[in-house]
A and B are shown apart, each in its own frame.
Chain A
Amino acid sequence: MKKYTDSGKKDTRSGFGAGLLEAGRRDSRVLALTADLKGSVKMDAFAAEFPERFVQCGIAESNMVGVAAGLAITGKVPFIGSFAEFVTGRVYDQLRQEVAYGHTNVKIASSHAGITLGEDGATHQTMEDIALMRALPGMAVVVPCDYNQTKNATIAAAAYEGPVYLRFGRPSVPNFTPEDEAFEIGKAYLLNEGCDITIAACGHLVWEALQAAEALEAEGIRADVINFATIKPLDEQALLASVKKTGCCVVAEEHNMAGGLGEAVSGVLAAGHPAPVEFVNGADRFGQSGTPAELMQAYSLNADAIVKAAHKAIGRK
């Protein structure tokens, strides 16, 4: 199995901050907007280097979306940053009308996504955001897996023409993708090649998928591990090619079952190559307070759960 090394744990939101700064240096149209969470969403460095291109919106997310749409109409490339729940569920109608239907070039920087936000509890832990954003016509949905990839995905989002939902998180997680790998929106990244099962994952679950593949390999089960860093548009070709080879699939994500990567993958397979699929996700529950590690364990979002699901999927072949 291909070896992946953790170069040192880092939070993906810091990857966003680094990517935003780089995107800002490359393109003067790039702006950063936040709703009183500049530090939390790692916009400090950008704001320090480009004070006139940083726009503080205060605790008024709806207005922030509108302001961003207006700026985009005049030719700017605004990134709006807040906690995932507050830049999706709270402003769904604004995103729908002014960004998706309005075809504005707004980038949604969605931090602290999923259950690993941790101690703040369920009001702040959205597990539904991917579903909401996938449902918007024309919205690209990007969920990178580590610091490096989040940085590179941010740079790619700035250069992409059209609205992008960019989801990342708060906890420090292994950093293992190449430092300067150009990110391509719409491309799935094949991290390991096997022939017995496909493990499709996104975000924090990609590292867990690699750990699971290692454990499976010890049992003689060889897994394709695919990082679906873009959920929409989904790289259907990569998925179908893999499952045609392996005959079954596990999908792992830090999200509700409804509307996430699991359903996206299932939809493609149902139409293109029906095969057994098992799911590792947050089911249909809200989160709760706890450390990220405690919560990942409690909600079965880890390598162990992926291994179990893999056995089940293989058993159904």
Chain B
Amino acid sequence: MSDIIKLQEIASQVRRDIVRMVCKAKSGHPGGSLGITDVMTALYFDEMQHNPQNWERSGKGQDMFVLSAGHLAPVYYSVLARSGYFPKEELGTLRRFGSRLQGHPCVTDHLPGVFKPSGSLGQGLSVAAGMALGKKLENDAHRVYVLCGDGESEEGQIWEAAMWAPHHKLDNLIAFTDWNGQQIDGPTETITGINDLSDKWLAFGWDVIEADGHDFESILQAFELAHAANGKPKMILFKTEMGHGVDFMAGTHKWHGKAPSEDECNRALAQLKETLGDF
């Protein structure tokens, strides 16, 4: 249990980071980041074998993570900084001119921990699949993780990769979907029905695991199940709530791409314990 309390404390700080970063930048995407915070915290602080002090882009001898849904940059930057990839003070530069923390992640300024740019949706799964094949070719037993959005699954390229990865038996590829049921224009079912995600991935030949994206026991158990060396890539469908942890942002698409005002920021921070010191 103590491990889980530790993860909960980190997640609370990560949520504070997200709200403060986006408020300071006066633009950005807080909703999705808050929703996937628990999963990303579990990934970076428990699941992945990585060495932030000794990072190199080739990812040799380490687990690698690809963010496909690039607008989730705030949570990505926060877990990277809190893991020690770069100083947490840099979080305050999000979206500023000259910052390494671009509105969507990039590799131009060699921000440690970032393997590829993302922003144009639907591409990360293919890249992660390529990395997973690269690791197989190198006999590197480490894994490649990739985060996709549920709305992002409307992109056709996702399904090209979905068909390709099982064919190449990439069981070192662990994909997960942030299944929050929301996208910019509203609930996903009202935009293009992507229901039955589980059936879809199963039909493409993936091991499919469903988990509660806000319950650390469920999250860690899902990762554990995804370790099976059975010749199949893994898709974890994390049920999440957009804006989770901040009552007035929770469960709606309205905070997808909107920054909180100072007042709203303070109201949000009052709900989130500062556990590791703000940036």
Contact = CB atoms under 8 A, between A and B. Distances in A.
Interface in A55-106: 55, 57-58, 60, 62-76, 93-94, 96-98, 101-104
Contacts of A93: 120, 123
A73 B116 CA distance: 8
Q: Is the interface of B mostly helix, strand, loop or mixed?
A: helix
B134 A73 contact: yes
A107 to B, nearest CB: 14
Given A74-B134, A76-B134, A66 B129 contact: yes
A73 B123 contact: no
Interface string B107-144: 11000000111111011111111111111011000000
A52 interface: yes
A141 to B, nearest CB: 21
Given A74-B138, A101-B117, A102-B117, A62 B160 contact: yes
A57 B126 CA distance: 11
B49 to A, nearest CB: 16
B57 interface: yes
Nearest to A31: B137
25 contacts: A58-B164, A60-B157, A60-B160, A62-B122, A62-B126, A62-B160, A63-B126, A63-B160, A65-B126, A66-B123, A66-B130, A66-B161, A67-B127, A67-B133, A70-B131, A70-B133, A71-B131, A73-B127, A73-B131, A74-B137, A74-B138, A75-B58, A93-B120, A96-B120, A98-B117
A70 B130 contact: yes
Contact of A103 (B60, B108, B156): B108
Given A74-B58, A74-B135, A76-B134, 4 more contacts: A52-B137, A62-B122, A70-B132, A73-B130
B157 to A, nearest CB: 4
B116 A102 contact: yes
Nearest to B130: A70
B154 to A, nearest CB: 14
A57 B132 CA distance: 15
B106 interface: yes
Interface in B72-124: 106-108, 115-120, 122-124
B30 interface: no
Interface string B50-70: 000000011110000000000
Interface residues of B, number: 36
Select the residue from A57, A60, A62, A66 with max chain B CB neighbours within 10 A: A66
B48 interface: no
B126 A74 contact: no
The list of the 7 closest CB pairs from A to B, nearest first, reads A70-B130, A66-B126, A74-B134, A63-B160, A67-B130, A60-B160, A70-B131
A69 B127 contact: yes
A62 B106 contact: no
A97 B58 contact: no
B163 interface: yes
A226 B130 CA distance: 40
A102 B67 CA distance: 13
Contact of B161 (A63, A102, A103): A63
Contacts of A52: 137
Contact of A74 (B108, B117, B131, B160): B131
Contacts of B125: 66
A270 B122 CA distance: 41
Name which of A70, A72, A102 has the most chain B CB atoms within 10 A of its CB.
A70
Nearest to A74: B134
Contacts of B60: 74-75
Interface in A224-278: none
Nearest to B59: A74
B145 to A, nearest CB: 13
A75 B160 contact: no
